[in-house]
Chain A
Amino acid sequence: MIGIINYGSGNIEAISNIYNRLNIECKVINNLKDFESVDRLILPGVGSFDECMKQLNNSGFKEKLNRIVLEDKVPILGICIGMHIMGNSSEEGVLEGLGWIPGKIKKFDKSLLVNKPYLPHMGWNNVNNIHDHIIFTGVNENQGFYFVHSYYYECEKEQNTLTICNYGLDFSSSIFKENIFGMQFHPEKSHSNGENLLSNFAKLDIC
């Protein structure tokens, strides 16, 4: 069972809509008790880095998450700001991130972009699956995914970059480390590519 973490940020409904259509069991996690029956997690996130961290800190989920993600190795997928908060810090805010995958969140450099609109990076862009990871099975890289963001994840270690995308510069459009995955794009808004990815995540055999 997939648990979508509801800590007050993120488009929960759009993700559960996709899993419902795929006939994959999922539920929304509203309190600590809800974690009991789930074996993988989705961490959504919209808005700003600090706002998401603040809400996560207030939710009472943080300790529990650290334990089941880092010790029990439960697979987790962070989307957009849900990915950003897996890093150490962000230029968008002052709060400390979860620090699960070493990295810093940086703002795109407008001077590298030639056309208006400069920011956000919004729309469909292709990705390059440099690790040939199984979670991207069935994904058409040229079609790519729907993005909307002004900040990107700069991984400290190259081996944590799962796919790259270009917007003025090459950036990590998805990242991973063992059981932890982060996606900058929105699989829940990316048609068959996103559906394949969410379905692959549900079936992923990590251990």
Chain B
Amino acid sequence: MLRSRIIPCLLVHKKGLVKTVNFKNSKYVGDPINAVKIFNEKEVDELIVLDIDATKDQRGPDFTLIRNLAAECRMPFCYGGGVSTVAQARKIISLGAEKVALSSAVINDISLCKAIGIAVGVQSVVVVLDVKKRKLLGGYDIFTNNGQVKSKRRFKEFVVELDQIGVGEIVINSIDNDGVMAGYDMDLASLVRDLCDIPITILGGAGTLDHIKKLISKFKVIGAAAGSLFVFKGKYKAVLINYPNREEKFPLYKEIRK
């Protein structure tokens, strides 16, 4: 049976790893290579690493870091941050990454998805959308530059457009739930699942394995990504890289009976 993917998502800031709350208050949690080594040993299903400085600093991806990370990975590895050209995407894949994550560049110009898809294969193109709930009107807005810039793109229409143009996967990152560890925004997940047919991964909010179990039970086959859950331990949030082992993971795929 095809299993849902349980995916740690790591954020790179000033060459170190950080974890944020609502995209703010970044806390240092360690060295990227070291963390990837540990996640590799723990046999994670997949790994996402996002450089949160690149777009903000108006620079491209750090290829040296990508090369070093990819050399440690024996699992699908997705890299994002500052990717805005076909050549950059091609280079990232050639270094041993499985997927390349795009965000602000494709929000500005969706045709980039197609061009990169042709160059590296559609299945390797991941689009990350950082979204925030609208306070009064309901619905969601897309943000770029670490939640600083609100995009003019309409969220629902854009998801449909991505589905039609053909991308490998959409990662939906809830800014409201980032680092809160109180559970995923299930309504947001349902909304996106209904809008498109392609694989989706939900990020933002997971605080326990139960949260992941709930998401999987509802959607059967989905990507369940988390940051805080896999880098913190205990109520004082001590930094400790962790991930469920095979015995802990298999019950997560079992359906919750109502």
Q: Does B133 contact A (CB under 8 A)?
A: no
Query: Which secondary structure characterizes the binding site on chain B?
Result: loop
User: Of A88-96, A113-121, A156-164, which binds chain B?
Assistant: A113-121
| Docked pose: A63 CA to B117 CA in angstroms | 31
Q: Does B98 contact A (CB under 8 A)?
A: yes
Q: Does B94 contact A (CB under 8 A)?
A: yes
Contact of B220 among A115, A147, A191 (CB under 8 A): A115
Q: Does A154 contact B (CB under 8 A)?
A: no
| Docked pose: A11 CA to B73 CA in angstroms | 13
Let me know if B193 and A116 touch, CB within 8 A. Answer: yes
Let me know if B96 and A123 touch, CB within 8 A. Answer: no
CB-based A-B contact count at 8 angstroms: 88
| Residue ID in chain A nearest B163 by CB atoms | A117
* Chain A: interface residue total (CB-CB under 8 A): 35
Chain A hits for B121, CB < 8 A: 46-47
Chain A hits for B1, CB < 8 A: 125-126, 166
Q: Which of A12, A47, A186, A194 has the most CB of B within 10 A?
A: A47
Chain A hits for B94, CB < 8 A: 11-13
Let me know if B95 and A13 touch, CB within 8 A. Answer: yes
User: Of B21-29, B171-179, B196-204, which binds chain A?
Assistant: B196-204
Q: Mark interface residues in B59-83 (1 if CB within 8 Å of A CB, else 0).
A: 0000000000011011110000000
Q: Does A17 contact B (CB under 8 A)?
A: yes
| Residue ID in chain A nearest B123 by CB atoms | A148
Let me know if B98 and A189 touch, CB within 8 A. Answer: yes
Let me know if B221 and A190 touch, CB within 8 A. Answer: no
Chain A hits for B221, CB < 8 A: 115-117, 123
Complex interface residues of chain A between 157 and 195 (CB less than 8 A to chain B): 166-167, 186, 188-192, 194-195
Let me know if A11 and B98 touch, CB within 8 A. Answer: yes
Chain A hits for B70, CB < 8 A: 13-14, 17
* 12 further A-B pairs in the complex, CB-CB below 8 A; given A13-B94, A120-B168, A123-B45: A12-B94, A14-B73, A46-B124, A121-B2, A123-B2, A125-B2, A146-B46, A146-B76, A147-B2, A148-B123, A186-B98, A194-B74
- Give the 4 A-B residue pairs with the shortest CB-CB distance, closest first: A13-B96, A115-B220, A117-B199, A14-B96
